[in-house]
A and B are shown apart, each in its own frame.
Chain A
Amino acid sequence: MSKPSKTKRSDSESIKQDPKKSKNDVSSLAAASKVKEFCKNFMDIEDKEVESRTGESDLKIFKETCCELKRLMTDILLLKTSGKTDEETSKKIIEKRIEASLLFVTLKKLNRIDKLRLKKARDTTHDAKQRVDTFHLQLENLLYEVFHLKKEVDKCLEFKSKDEDIELVPVEEFYQEAPSSISKMELTKSNQHKLTLARLEWEFEQRKRLSEQCRSLEQNREKASSEISQKQKQLESLLPRLTSILESTRPLQEELNLPVERIKFQKELAVLLPDPLYILYSQIKAFIEACDPSLQISIEGGMEDAINFGSKNKTGLDEILEDVDSAESDMETEYETNKRAATSNKMKTDWQLTRHPLRIQLKIERVVLNFTYLTTLNIVTVDCKPVQQDDGVNQICMIDNLLSGLFPNDHGDESPSWVNCFQARSMINGKITEQGKPYLWAQRLAGLDFNGIVKSTPQSFINTEFVETVILALKSRITYRFQFVKVLHLLEKGELDLNQDSNATFPPTIYSRLVSWTSSTYEECLVTSKNLERLLNFLEVNPKSLSFYKATLERESAKLLAMFMVPVDYPNSTPICSLELNWNGKHNRENSEIIRRIEAEVNVPSTELPPQHKVDLLTVQLKKLSLHLDLITEIDGQLMKKGGGSWQSQSKPEFAAEKMIPQLIKGHDRAYPTKYDTGSGFFLHH
């Protein structure tokens, strides 16, 4: 490539030289082109000349020419120096000169050729150099490539495949487990690489499977954990809500005496109980756990109070009062404050009734018993109240006298201790309802033994049988009382419904009806009926262990008024009634043997009712009364006809004889029949 350009340049040089020549040889355009052509030819020739000749030969020519010239010059010089100014010499000189000038042409030619040659050599060199450069470059490239490849090779050689780190299953196992599509036994047996590949593939399959499994498990786990966290969150959110609910239900709990939150406090509170209450608590608690989980026992009262109380308990009365005052200011809730204030007032006025702030609450079925310890008097009092419920049951009936006479002559009216019977008198006068009553059984449960005259301290002696006796007595008392309240409810409606067995002992139709059944009081009953007092005096019963009721039975104009005294342990004891018949005059036990007989018939326990219907005893009694009212009104009419004496003064008896009575009157006491013979339907005498 560079070669032609060189040639051009040489051409242009030659062209440059040409205008000089053409200037020198001013000629026409045609001549110029001729010259140009000529020059070209000439240059071509010269080029050929240069090629055909060598430098050395030219150098020899040049030296010869120079020598020639030198000789010529020297000849000229010699000629000139010879002083010969002759024509010959001058001619010689001129000749010599021409000769020398001709030599110059040769020199010039040589010069030109030389120059051409130089140029040519230079070009050649350049070309060569150029070629060399290219080669060099090529070489360099190749070298680099080689180096790079070497590096790559090194890299490749140094490459660590990851499969080396992978722990593959042993070959034997692989062959055993992998499917033949992967293992390709024939192929891989010989080829280690293929074997590895196959093993890797198997590994890959395995891992893919496992990872799938892992992923699903992970997903499950994820799900579970999210669920857990969600639930956790819910639970966490539940706690404050629950606490708030608990907080808000606390008054309700207190109201209902639910032991939801209290159980954990019980043990701590138990430590703070005074000894008698602790004995009582532990005994009953043990009994409940061992024998009867239907009962509930708990300790009521503030822990702080108990601690405060306990610390000052042994000091004097004044300190107790101070303590109360100070404790009052500490109170947190309004309710507590009120309660406490009331207590403190009571304490101030009646310090004998100082009671321990803790009390024991025993829940038996629907009744709550509170055991309180009066520290000054050293006695335990019990009071009871019904668990609130709205089923129309008369709550007062339920708890009235409930605990009275649980054991014979134990009405809780007197202090069980000889020592403080004078102190306790104030308690008996009025305060008793607020404080509960000091029943003897409660003292005994609390380990307080007042049999001796000396005030005794709580004894560790525990009579387990006694706990059972008390609890059973309480339970049966409460159960029966509840049934009794139901019976009362029915009686208030005037219903005398009985179970079949009991009903069978009565004739199918009884005309007399229970028209009213009302609760009454001892005082009211005394006013109404004097006979009652005689009966009570005879029986030597404490009116406090009785409930009083007024029943009215009617058959047309005949009115039978019955004062019923229901004992506290009904139906284990029979209710007692006192009768008054208002029918053609007033008839009662005092003035009529007939009425007395009916009273006896009703009051004297006869046949035992089966245990499940025991509570119907009162209804049976009332039914008996209604039957007897029927009987006496009818018999009286029959006697009137017979001339046997009658209360009725009119000519015709008020009631027709419907009942089958073989003999109206029997015996010296002229008794009426009282027995109904279910088989024959006859009314017979005893």
Chain B
Amino acid sequence: MPDIKSFYVTVLSQALSPCEEFLAAGTNFGNVNIFNIKSLYAEDEQGPRESLTLPQKCFSVSTKPLQAITSLNDNLLVGGKNCIEAFSWNQLVLPQNSDEKVKPCWKVDLRLPTDFGTKETVDCMINGENSTFVACGDNNVHHVDLEYGKVKQTFSGHTDFIHSMSLVGNQLSSASEDGTVCIWDTRKSKPNHVITPHLESKLNRPHLGKWVGAVAMNEDWLVCGGGPHLGLYHLRSLTMSRVLLEEDVHGVNNVMFHEDNIIVGVDGPFVYHCLFSGDITVKMPTSPLRVYSICLQKKDTNKLLFVGGSGGDIDICTSSKLQDQVIRCLS
């Protein structure tokens, strides 16, 4: 009988190793599951495939849900309780040794205020140049210099926790539960612009709330959504130019640009691929009941897309954009 815990696993965050052959998935139980993607796709792989769909390693980092993990250089950065813990990928890719406990190779203390533990969390994390932007429970974004292990800058302006961030050059955008998307210059601590999608009547979905669950930027465009519909904003003018996925009834949890497409993970068992025009190219049903995390291979020719969310299953989609394999997190 499988552990009931694995039924209630939610994959909240994912990160690929630098070689993109291994996937780390952070779960709501505070564990990191390491999957060997290379052997799963190796043509001549012998032996039971069953075991390949399970993590080769699973270790606990925190008792809190792992909302944010990223891969930077040779390290896996995990947002823990009031800190960022770094694990060496070289160590993580080794097969599981039951005796050996996985230990972080270094740790950055974030020195967040303690308040029943609600503010000590790391809610979102994206990579910068040898640094990382960490959205924390104090509703601020902290720019952490990893070389010195110090917070370089703090961006404050949100009144609730931050769901998602996107960085292009010096421009940082953050989507928050408070219903706003702030656009920052990384050199300034106050937001340059604030977008409030729920005030756009076309986007507003009051029954779902005003929260903004996802934001993505490229040079020209910003796409954000959550409780409100997914809206495509023109960055220069900061005007909402199009409502995307109008017919979808779920909240938006993830969004990312990929080539000509916008990949959207919603608060339901679907991943959409849509064009800037709003045409949906793929509506892919997923094993996760709600998508909380999507991760894309950038170097590999396959360009595998990993979709994680509510339920321990992570769908692996090939460039054909359809579900190819399912791997399962244990806890």
Residue positions of A touching B, CB distance < 8 A: 408, 535, 538-541, 574, 576, 589-591, 593, 596, 599-600, 603-605, 639, 643-647, 649, 662-663, 665-671, 677, 680, 682, 684-686
Given A541-B1, A643-B209, answer yes or no on A686-B8 (Cβ-Cβ < 8 Å).
no
Q: Is the CB of B64 within 8 A of A604?
A: no
Given A538-B2, A669-B290, A686-B65, answer yes or no on A645-B310 (Cβ-Cβ < 8 Å).
no
Q: Is the CB of A539 within 8 A of B209?
A: no
Q: Is the CB of A644 within 8 A of B8?
A: no
Q: Is the CB of B116 within 8 A of A677?
A: yes
**Using a CB-CB cutoff of 8 Å, which residues 87-121 of chain B contact chain A?**
115-118, 121
B206 cross-chain contacts in A, Cβ below 8 A: 643, 645
Q: Mark B162-206, 1 if CB is under 8 A from A, else 0.
A: 011000000000000101000000000000000000100000011
Q: Is the CB of B7 within 8 A of A639?
A: no
A535 cross-chain contacts in B, Cβ below 8 A: 7
Nearest 5 pairs between A and B by C-beta? Answer: A645-B209, A600-B8, A644-B209, A645-B208, A643-B210
Complex Cα distance, B177 from A671, in Å, reads 12
**Pick the contact of B2 from A539, A600, A684 — CB < 8 Å?**
A539
Residue positions of B touching A, CB distance < 8 A: 1-2, 4-5, 7-8, 10, 12-13, 28, 63-65, 67, 115-118, 121, 123-124, 137, 160-161, 163-164, 177, 179, 198, 205-211, 213, 227, 251, 253, 267-268, 289-290, 292-293, 310
Q: Is the CB of A669 within 8 A of B310?
A: yes
Instruction: Give A274 Cβ to nearest chain B Cβ, in Å.
Output: 35
Given A576-B4, A593-B310, A684-B116, answer yes or no on A644-B210 (Cβ-Cβ < 8 Å).
yes
User: Chain B at the A interface: mostly helix, strand, loop or mixed?
Assistant: loop
Complex Cα distance, B83 from A233, in Å, reads 94
Given A541-B1, A593-B290, answer yes or no on A644-B118 (Cβ-Cβ < 8 Å).
no
Q: Is the CB of A668 within 8 A of B118?
A: no
Given A646-B209, A669-B10, A685-B118, answer yes or no on A539-B67 (Cβ-Cβ < 8 Å).
no
Complex Cα distance, B179 from A682, in Å, reads 25
B290 cross-chain contacts in A, Cβ below 8 A: 593, 669
Q: Is the CB of B8 within 8 A of A604?
A: yes
Q: Is the CB of A645 within 8 A of B227?
A: yes
**Pick the contact of B164 from A662, A663, A668 — CB < 8 Å?**
A668
Q: Is the CB of A540 within 8 A of B2?
A: yes
Complex Cα distance, B7 from A17, in Å, reads 184
Instruction: Give B290 Cβ to nearest chain A Cβ, in Å.
Output: 6
B63 cross-chain contacts in A, Cβ below 8 A: 686
**Pick the contact of B118 from A408, A646, A649, A663 — CB < 8 Å?**
A663
Q: Is the CB of B4 within 8 A of A539?
A: yes
Complex Cα distance, B67 from A413, in Å, reads 45
- Which of B64, B123, B164, B177 has most A Cβ within 10 Å? B177
Complex Cα distance, B232 from A546, in Å, reads 51
Given A593-B290, A644-B177, A644-B210, answer yes or no on A540-B310 (Cβ-Cβ < 8 Å).
no
Q: Is the CB of A666 within 8 A of B8?
A: no
Q: Is the CB of B207 within 8 A of A684?
A: no
B8 cross-chain contacts in A, Cβ below 8 A: 596, 599-600, 603-604
A538 cross-chain contacts in B, Cβ below 8 A: 2, 7
Closest Cβ neighbor of B211 among chain A residues: A644
Instruction: Give A59 Cβ to nearest chain B Cβ, in Å.
Output: 178
Q: Is the CB of B213 within 8 A of A639?
A: no
Instruction: Give B86 Cβ to nearest chain A Cβ, in Å.
Output: 21
Instruction: Give A87 Cβ to nearest chain B Cβ, in Å.
Output: 211
Q: Is the CB of A649 within 8 A of B177?
A: no
Closest Cβ neighbor of A649 among chain B residues: B207
Given contacts A649-B207, A670-B213, A671-B65, 18 further A-B contacts (CB under 8 A): A408-B1, A593-B10, A596-B310, A599-B8, A639-B209, A644-B211, A644-B227, A645-B210, A663-B161, A665-B177, A667-B121, A667-B161, A668-B292, A669-B12, A669-B290, A671-B28, A680-B116, A686-B28
Q: Is the CB of B1 within 8 A of A540?
A: yes
Q: Is the CB of B4 within 8 A of A645?
A: no
Complex Cα distance, B211 from A649, in Å, reads 18
Complex Cα distance, B63 from A684, in Å, reads 13
Closest Cβ neighbor of B6 among chain A residues: A538
Q: Is the CB of B210 within 8 A of A603?
A: no
Residue pairs across A and B with Cβ atoms less than 8 A apart, 24 shown, are A408-B1, A538-B2, A540-B1, A576-B4, A593-B289, A596-B289, A600-B8, A643-B198, A643-B209, A643-B210, A644-B210, A646-B209, A662-B115, A663-B118, A663-B161, A666-B121, A667-B67, A668-B12, A668-B124, A668-B213, A669-B12, A669-B310, A682-B116, A684-B117
